[in-house]
């Protein structure tokens, strides 16, 4: 069954501050789409708008989950999550005083996820062996890289159909970034996810993205229909590849 | 003179008293420790629990512990309702710190005044077969009016501990104060979790109240003696840790009992704050903060 996300002409911001100035983008069924943009471009704000954390002042956000279309604007974050959309948020936002295992179990709170708890937990431990070793450790005492793994695994525990990931590479050493990106690809294959990933690290993001968008000051400046068209784009070469 | 049997009796009496303190503080460990809500009316709810036990015991002769257990669901509903009001009036608009404190202060006053108007300021007590009884093991006395509350308090603490650790709602209660938005991203409504947790905390007051009136006679304003103690225990226990709270309660009970035995009862009220200040000076996160 198909799962997709479509955003049309979305404007949003914080109080008087307008951040998104009419964004349109789409993630089609089974795609991994990269959302590129420098600091302050509005990547996180867009993800928050999808999740119902910030409310758009104009535009439309809709998701198709298992062939059923849902209007996301006006829904609370928990309602959006309950449809089958998960966000790995900026800053990871783990529960620092809960253990690794308790964090993972928190992910399985929603009804649809509870039935698959054993299967998903086993999968997370198999995919991220460090989480299995550290299952009794408090999340707050994990290293940055381990926390990123846990944040990803916790989102998987919600049994999503659409996964939004906000800058998985932030704060990680290059080797960890490469590994994390590979894990994302693995999760996507295994669960047949539809993925939207915000990144600043173009080289890593393009390894797993089917295509992407570049967001600048709250506008979509460029839309690349394929990996090649992204790699050959002048602006991307200038901004991200230093050419 | 410090003799072995005096010391042993003081320690055992303190242990039993400490167990009861755990029942007094456990609701606050949830409401203040986990939810960060400064419910200074908590001891007043315990007094309301004690009067519930008194009323049903004197009228129908029901066992006070049983009354506590039966009244708990009603207290739960009252707690959930009160949280709704508190949330709507203060928390939603971010005014919880000062106005919220005034709200609970007012609630405490209302409970006290209503009890005084209806029942006066006389001490009230309950009847139960075991209240005058006691066991004697060697030279140590185990009066049932202390032993029964201790056993019930241990069961209550164990139950709440397991509930928080093992259930989805229990873990959500622990999570809600740590990161509200993250909880929403798990698909959980934080307001509902807090409402449930607040109800649960108030439900424990029904049981703690029954224990209080088994230990000794109660009048409407005795709750005040427990405000400082209960908050001290929660802070000592590391804010929200149930096992930490339990050990802190036992320590406070024992120290109070020793002070009472060897220095005199007039010192006892100062003990909670003495232990609290000393601990915070040495370990700012409490004895068991994690
Ligand atoms: N809570 C907030 N209140 C006010 N302004 C905000 C808030 N969050 C973000 N902004 C502003 O919105 C703009 C876009 O921020 P956003 O977090 O969406 O950028 P981003 O593309 O995710 O950047 P980064 O890569 O640095 O995370 C920035 O100018 C930022 O200062
Ligand atoms: Mg961001």
Tokens, residue B146:
């202390």
List CB contacts (< 8 A) between B174 and chain A: 95, 97-98, 102
**pLDDT at position A243:** 64
**pLDDT at position A173:** 83
Residue B142: CB partners within 8 Å, gap ≥ 6? B12, B16, B134, B135, B136
User: Does B184 sit within 8 Å of A76, measured CB to CB?
Assistant: yes
- Grouping H, G, I as helix, E, B as strand and the rest as coil, residue B285 is coil
Tell me the C-alpha distance between A140 and A143, whole Å. Answer: 8
pTM of the entire structure? 0.91
Cβ–Cβ under 8 Å, residues A166 and A34: no
User: Does A106 sit within 8 Å of B178, measured CB to CB?
Assistant: no
Q: What number is the average pLDDT over the span B208-236?
A: 94
CA dihedral B158, B160, B166, B169 (to 10 degrees): 180
Cβ–Cβ under 8 Å, residues B58 and B249: no
**pLDDT at position A55:** 95
For residue A27, give the CATH number of its domain: 3.40.50.300
Domain count across chain A? 1
Check CB contact of A93 with chain B, cutoff 8 Å: yes
**pLDDT at position B264:** 85
List CB contacts (< 8 A) between A94 and chain B: 179, 182
Q: Is the pLDDT of residue B1 over 70?
A: no
Of ligand 1's listed atoms, the one at least distance from the Cα of A42 is: 18
Q: What is the pLDDT of residues A185-223, one digit of tens each?
A: 999 999 999 999 999 888 888 889 999 999 999 999 999
Domains of chain B by range and CATH?
4-265 (1.10.3470)
Q: What is the pLDDT of residues B169-205, one digit of tens each?
A: 999 999 998 999 999 999 999 999 999 999 999 999 9
Per DSSP bridges, beta strands A58-65 and A4-14 are antiparallel
Of ligand 1's listed atoms, the one at least distance from the Cα of A48 is: 18
Q: What is the pLDDT of residues A231-243, one digit of tens each?
A: 888 888 877 776 6
The answer to whether the CB of A16 is under 6 A from ligand 1 is: no
Task: Identify which has the larger pLDDT, B45 or B281.
Answer: B45
Q: What is the pLDDT of residues B25-84, one digit of tens each?
A: 999 999 999 999 999 999 999 999 999 999 999 999 999 999 999 999 999 999 999 999
Chain A: closest CA distance from residue B110 (Å): 36
CB atoms within 10 A of CB A38: 13
For A83, the domain range is: 4-239
**pLDDT at position B290:** 52
The answer to whether the CB of A158 is under 6 A from ligand 1 is: no
| Radius of gyration, CA atoms only, chain A | 17
Work out whether the CA dihedral A178, A184, A189, A193 comes out positive or negative.
negative
């Amino acid at each position: 069954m198909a799962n997709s996300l479509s955003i049309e002409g979305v404007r949003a911001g914080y109080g008087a501050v307008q951040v998104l100035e009419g964004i349109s983008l789409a993630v089609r069924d089974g795609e991994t789409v990269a959302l590129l943009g420098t600091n302050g471009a509005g990547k996180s704000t867009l993800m928050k708008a999808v999740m119902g954390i910030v409310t758009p002042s104009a535009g439309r956000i809709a998701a198709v989950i298992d062939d059923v279309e849902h209007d996301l604007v006006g829904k609370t974050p928990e309602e959006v999550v309950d449809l089958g959309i998960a966000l790995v948020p900026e800053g990871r936002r783990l529960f620092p005083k809960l253990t690794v295992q308790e964090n993972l179990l928190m992910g399985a709170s929603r009804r649809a996820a509870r039935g698959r708890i054993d299967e998903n937990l086993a999968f997370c431990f198999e995919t991220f062996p460090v989480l299995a070793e550290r299952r009794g450790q408090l999340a707050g005492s994990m290293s940055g890289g381990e926390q990123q793994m846990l944040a990803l695994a916790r989102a998987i525990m919600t049994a999503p159909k659409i996964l939004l990931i906000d800058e998985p590479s932030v704060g990680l050493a290059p080797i960890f970034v490469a590994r994390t990106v590979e894990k994302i690809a693995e999760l996507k294959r295994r669960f047949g996810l539809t993925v939207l990933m915000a990144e600043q690290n173009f080289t890593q993001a393009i390894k797993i993205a089917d295509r992407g968008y570049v967001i600048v000051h709250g506008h979509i400046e460029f839309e690349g229909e394929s990996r090649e068209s992204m790699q050959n784009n002048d602006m991307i070469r200038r901004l991200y590849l230093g050419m | 003179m410090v003799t072995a049997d005096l010391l042993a009796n003081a320690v055992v009496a303190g242990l039993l008293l400490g167990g009861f303190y755990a029942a007094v503080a456990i609701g606050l460990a949830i409401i203040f420790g986990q939810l960060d809500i400064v419910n200074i009316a908590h001891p007043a709810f315990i007094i309301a629990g004690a009067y519930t036990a008194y009323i049903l015991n004197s009228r129908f002769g029901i066992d006070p512990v049983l009354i506590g257990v039966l009244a708990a669901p009603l207290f739960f509903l009252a707690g959930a309702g009160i949280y709704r009001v508190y949330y709507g009036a203060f928390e939603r608009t971010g005014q919880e710190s000062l106005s919220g404190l005034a709200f609970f202060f007012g609630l405490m006053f209302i409970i006290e005044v209503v009890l005084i108007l209806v029942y006066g300021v006389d001490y009230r007590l309950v009847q139960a077969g075991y209240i005058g009884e006691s066991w004697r093991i060697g030279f140590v006395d185990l009066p049932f009016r202390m032993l029964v509350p201790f056993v019930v308090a241990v069961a209550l603490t164990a139950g709440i501990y397991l509930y928080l650790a093992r259930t989805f709602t229990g873990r959500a209660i622990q999570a809600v104060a740590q990161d509200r938005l993250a909880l929403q991203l798990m698909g959980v409504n934080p307001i509902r979790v807090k409402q449930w947790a607040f109800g649960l905390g108030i439900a424990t007051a029904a049981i703690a109240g029954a224990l209080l009136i088994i230990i000794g006679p109660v009048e409407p304003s005795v709750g005040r003696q427990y405000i400082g103690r209960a908050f001290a225990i929660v802070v000592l226990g590391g804010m929200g840790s149930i096992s930490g709270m339990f050990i802190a309660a036992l320590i406070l009970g024992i120290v109070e009992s020793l002070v009472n035995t060897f220095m005199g009862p007039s010192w006892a009220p100062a003990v909670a704050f003495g232990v609290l200040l000393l601990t915070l000076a040495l370990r700012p996160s409490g004895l068991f903060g994690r």
